[in-house]
Amino acid sequence: MKKNAETDPATPEKTPGPTGKKASAKKPAPAKRTAPAKKAAPAGKAASAKKSAPAKKAASAGKAAPAKKSASAGKRTAAARKAAPLKRQAPARKPAVVPAKAAAPVEGVAPAKTIAPHSPRDESRTALVRRARRINRELAEVYPYAHPELDFENPFQLLVATVLSAQTTDLRVNQTTPALFARYPTPEDLAAANPEEVEEILRPCGFFRAKTRSVIGLSKALTEDHGGEVPGRLDDLVKLPGVGRKTAFVVLGNAFGRPGITVDTHFQRLVRRWQWTEETDPDKIEAAVGALFPRSDWTDLSHHVIWHGRRICHARKPACGACPIAPLCPAYGEGETDPEKAKKLLKYEKGGLPGQRLKPPQAYLDAGGTPAPPLGAG
């Protein structure tokens, strides 16, 4: 047997065959297991492979490149998820900012509860009367020396100056009347005047032709019907050329001491802004406001309201932040509410250059408490 094995040439090849198979069986076994081990290694990393659906698909396909793409896609998805809320946060910021901007100026300067505790449209008649009279008292403290801002020495000069003040400023009238009264001091003189000469004097006041006809016409009526004297009755005054109820009450209240309400443009604007009345006709406004106050207050009330309208409560830009009656005004907030900015809107006029700014109304009283000279007196 040994001899046959040694002499057989094929035997040596068959003999190592089984041993080589054993060795090769041992060596390839790990190699065959290595491939699935590499595939299973990512899947065997704890719960990440189980939780990741793309990882299971990549492992079953056995392609490494898709696995990398899925990982990058996952990163992009996470980044997109993080970026998405940022776009949604932009509109979310507006509700947080807008209320702060809306509330800060009003609450910082004057809280809404202090400015307008209730709607004046719902207030009773008694509450309206009390609020209106309190406003007048407050204005009386701010403008203690309120008076007509037209310069005059007698009822005739006041009547003519008031007629000339239509559609122009009192300052302009005060600059024009000295020359007029120096040349025509009495109704008789003005009634006999040359219209062309009067027009030349009144040209700076505007509408000088119409105003010339009015002042010459009323001077003739005073000369012919009233003995050259200005009548002290409303019915007689309103019959004069160029004289209406407003002009008549200015003359009656300031030249004769008879109470009257002067409903000019400032007065109409403010009483409607304060919601004392909703009327638009001057005669109806006069009646509605007159019913809120005793008759003795009418003349001073007119001065207070007109002065306030010219100095603080302007038509376009009221200085709400510098207004002494802001807590009583239902229209608070229509103008500038910042105190410093509102102070720049204040206007005070006096005889002199147009647009001249003066001290506040309290400064019209001198240090000793004696009333200062009237505006335009020097």
Model confidence pLDDT, tens digit, residues 14-73: 444 444 444 444 444 444 444 444 444 444 444 443 444 444 444 444 444 444 444 454
CA–CA separation, 86 and 64 (whole Å): 34
CA–CA separation, 182 and 99 (whole Å): 63
Q: Which of 151, 246, 300, 350 is catalytic?
A: 246
pLDDT for residue 347 = 83
Residue 155: both structure tokens together: 């009822």
In the chain, beta strands by DSSP E: none
Query: DSSP states of 262-286 as a string?
Result: ---HHHHHHHHHTTS----SHHHHH
Instruction: Give residue limits of the domains in the chain.
Output: 127-311+348-364
> In 10 A of CB 307, how many CB atoms?
22
With residue 43 as reference, give the H or E element that holds it: helix 28-43
Contact of 160 with 370, CB cutoff 8 Å: no
pLDDT of the chain, 378 residues: tens digit per residue: 444 444 444 444 444 444 444 444 444 444 444 444 444 444 444 444 344 444 444 444 444 444 444 445 455 555 545 554 444 444 444 333 323 333 333 333 333 333 444 456 688 999 999 999 999 999 999 999 888 889 999 999 999 999 999 889 888 999 999 999 999 999 999 999 999 999 999 999 989 999 999 999 999 999 999 999 999 999 999 999 999 999 999 999 999 999 999 999 999 999 999 999 999 999 999 999 999 999 999 999 999 999 999 999 999 999 999 999 999 999 999 999 999 999 999 986 543 333 333 334 333 333 333 333 333 332
Contact of 302 with 89, CB cutoff 8 Å: no
pLDDT for residue 81 = 53
For residue 75, indicate whether it is catalytic.
no
CB half-sphere exposure, 354, CA atoms < 13 A? 9
Out of 3.60.20.10, 1.10.340.30, 1.20.1260.10, 3.30.70.360, the CATH code matching 127-311+348-364 is 1.10.340.30
62: alpha, beta or left? (left if phi > 0; alpha if psi -120 to 50): left
Q: Which of 239, 264, 317, 341 is catalytic?
A: 264
For residue 281, indicate whether it is catalytic.
no
The three state secondary structure string of 83-99 is: HHHHHHHHHHHHHHHHH
For the chain, the first-to-last Cα distance in angstroms comes to: 157
Q: Of 169, 162, 167, 172, whose CA–CA distance to 245 is shortest?
A: 162
pLDDT for residue 119 = 52
Scan for tokens 């919601």, then name that residue: 275
Residue 189: both structure tokens together: 């003189």
